Amino acid sequence: MPTLHIVDRYMQTVLPYGIINDNKGLDFFIPEKDEVKTPSLPLSHQHGYTGFVIGAKHYTKQLPIEKIISICKKINTPIILMGGKEDYNRAVEIEKAVGATIYNACGNYNLNQSASLVKQATKIITHDTGLMHIAAAFKKEIISVWGNTVPTFGFTAYLPDPKSRIVEVKNLSCRPCSKIGYDKCPKVHFKCMKEIDEDEIMG
């Protein structure tokens, strides 16, 4: 496994050109037109919320829906579910199961608008996916959940808030099974996500 984060490996590549890492982390700039105004959110979510990124490009990077529902029921703050259009139906199912604390933003916002929601969240629960890195750019508290991929690949959130933490099932002989992900668990059991400790996510 690499001993350096992917960002630091990139910086080593450009070092001969005099480009030096300022060690201030990532940047993400949101156009003013894409800033999501607080009054546009449900009244229940205008005074703070947890952002839960339920999507990921591959199935084996995603918590099972029943696991997400169980976690959401334990969170004592309003929650905004984030993801793409492909995550909308799952989010509807979660919303129905959990109730009024949920606001389904999946597929209703473009990337910059979703970044604005991330920026305004009190904390972010996320899979190994793009919004995790955007959350790092805004120095959010990030609880990142890892399934078939592993943090030691070097793709963790870069210089996030110090309260951030990684949640994973360690010591599985079949993990990692891929650097990217699969549409289904190659071993069928999907222990890397099904055995995630929900209390560890809650902190």
Residue 131 lies in a domain: yes
Domain-embedded: residue 26: no
How many angstroms separate the CA atoms of 77 and 80, rounded?
10
Looking at every residue in the chain, the average pLDDT score rounds to 96
d(CA 33, CA 176): 40
User: CA 180 to CA 60: how far, in whole Å?
Assistant: 9
Number of domains in the chain: 1
Q: Examine residue 179 and state whether it is found in any structural domain, yes or no.
A: yes
pLDDT of residue 11: 95
27 assigned to some structural domain = no
- Could you report the per-residue pLDDT of 85-128, keeping only the tens digit for each? 999 999 999 999 999 999 999 999 999 999 999 999 999 999 99
pLDDT at 15 over 90: yes
Supply the CATH number for residue 143's domain. Answer: 3.40.50.2000
Distance (Å, whole) CA 167 – CA 158: 16
Q: What is the pTM of this model?
A: 0.95
Tokens encoding 177: 């099974």
Give me the mean pLDDT over the 175-197 stretch.
95
Which secondary-structure segment (H or E) carries 167? Answer: strand 165-168
Domain-embedded: residue 183: yes
Please determine, for residue 1, whether its predicted confidence score (pLDDT) is greater than 90: no
Residue 146 pLDDT: 98
Mean pLDDT value of segment 15-41: 97
* Contacts by 124-128, CB closer than 8 A, 24 or more apart: 124/50, 124/51, 124/52, 124/53, 125/50, 125/51, 125/52, 125/53, 125/71, 125/201, 126/51, 126/52, 126/53, 127/53, 127/54, 127/55, 127/56, 127/61, 127/62, 127/63, 128/56, 128/61, 128/155
Task: Find where tokens 């933490």 sit.
Answer: 165
Question: Is residue 39 in a domain?
Answer: no
pLDDT digits (tens, 9 = 90+) for 71-88: 999 999 999 999 999 999
Show the domain range for 138. Answer: 6-20+47-202
pLDDT of residue 3: 83
Positive/negative CA dihedral, 94, 52, 177, 194: negative
Structure tokens at 186: 């190659």
Taking residue 149's Cβ as centre, other Cβ atoms within 10 Å add up to: 23
Strand-pair category, 123-127 with 102-104: unpaired
Calculate the alpha carbon distances from 165 to 55, 117, 171 in Å: 19, 20, 18
Instruction: Tell me which residue of 81, 85, 90, 84 sits closest to 49, measured CA to CA.
Output: 81
Q: Are 127 and 56 in contact (CB under 8 A)?
A: yes
Whether 120 maps to a domain, the answer reads yes
Report if residue 1 sits inside a domain.
no
Please say if the pLDDT value at position 33 is more than 90.
Answer: yes
